[in-house]
């Protein structure tokens, strides 16, 4: 069996998320249909992350096992000719048998984009959350530092989800203002469901001056979802990059940007 890896990019707007669901247009289902037409079999796909409905992927990584000896270049070209324009296979290759898109990932990076212009932009509306007011970026920059390190993120997970282990290690967290665009970036070894969107929703309370840096920290430490802000909508969120041990990467490619 060959272990094949694909690097994808998709616009989440018109997908019901990554994960296959019968009778719904999902990114996984769309990719599987295309793979089935080329390989003559429907391989089980392992993805680095299951993006929720409406969330985009600048980078998504999947792997699957196949007996088919199809050359990688032909596979990528064939997939892109079959796939709709909102999902593209950027790269691919054979990887060591122990490679697993999710379990081999050392870290994942998400970015969330906010547009603060008075009016929403017809051109950015699918990829940014529109917040038509000035946000206090420095306050958000200070507050977000509280999540760096190992923490119980129960306050920021999906309500009514219970994790056996809600502890995750966040490697870096940044807020950058670039004109009318604010970008939040969180890199972590793992994420809970809705974790980024709940952190963003709570950081927005800081940006609007409704809570301060200490208040943000207190919410994290409370481990109580009811203390945190609302879940930010999905369309500003991008699964941005995924990091692996270099020895697991398929030469001559590097995954990510």
Residues of the shown chain interacting with a second copy in the complex, contacts defined by CB under 8 A: 9-11, 56, 58, 80, 85-90, 119-123, 125, 127
Residue with Cβ nearer a second copy (90 or 171): 90
**At its nearest, how many Å lie between a second copy and the CB of residue 56?**
7
Q: How far is the CB of 51 from a second copy (least distance, A)?
A: 13
Distance between alpha carbon 78 and the CA centroid of its chain, in Å?
A: 26
- Is 212 an annotated catalytic residue? no
Q: Minimum distance from CB of 127 to a second copy (Å)?
A: 6
Closer by beta carbon to a second copy, 12 or else 207: 12
Of residues 89 and 205, the one with the C-beta less far from a second copy: 89
Q: Catalytic one among 11, 14, 52, 86?
A: 52
Q: Which two tokens stand for residue 229?
A: 């802000």
CB of 31 to a second copy, least distance (A): 13
Count of residues in the chain: 257
Cis omega (within 30 of 0) for bond into 85 = no
Nearer to a second copy, 50 or 88 (CB): 88
Catalytic residues: 52
């Amino acid at each position: 069996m060959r272990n094949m890896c694909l690097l994808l990019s998709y616009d989440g707007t018109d997908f019901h998320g990554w994960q296959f669901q019968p009778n719904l247009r999902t990114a996984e289902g769309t990719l599987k249909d295309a793979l089935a037409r080329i390989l003559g079999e429907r391989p089980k796909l392992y993805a680095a992350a299951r993006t929720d409905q409406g969330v985009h992927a600048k980078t998504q990584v999947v792997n699957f096992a196949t007996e088919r000896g199809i050359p990688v270049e032909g596979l990528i070209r064939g997939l892109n000719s079959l796939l709709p324009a909102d999902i593209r296979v950027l790269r691919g290759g054979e990887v060591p048998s122990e490679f697993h898109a999710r379990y081999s990932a050392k870290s994942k990076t998400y970015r969330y984009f906010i547009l603060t212009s008075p009016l929403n932009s017809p051109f950015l509306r699918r990829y940014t959350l529109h917040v038509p007011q000035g946000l206090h970026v420095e306050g958000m920059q200070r507050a977000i530092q509280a999540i760096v390190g190992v923490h119980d993120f129960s306050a920021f997970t999906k309500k009514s989800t219970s994790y056996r282990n809600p502890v995750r290690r966040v490697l870096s967290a940044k807020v950058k203002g670039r004109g009318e665009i604010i970008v939040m970036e969180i890199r972590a070894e793992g994420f809970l469901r809705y974790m980024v969107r709940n952190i963003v929703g709570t950081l927005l309370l800081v940006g609007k001056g409704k809570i301060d840096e200490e208040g943000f920290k207190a919410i994290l430490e409370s481990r109580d979802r009811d203390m945190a802000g609302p879940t930010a909508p999905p369309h500003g969120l991008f699964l941005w990059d995924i990091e692996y041990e270099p020895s697991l990467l398929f030469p001559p490619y590097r995954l990510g940007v």
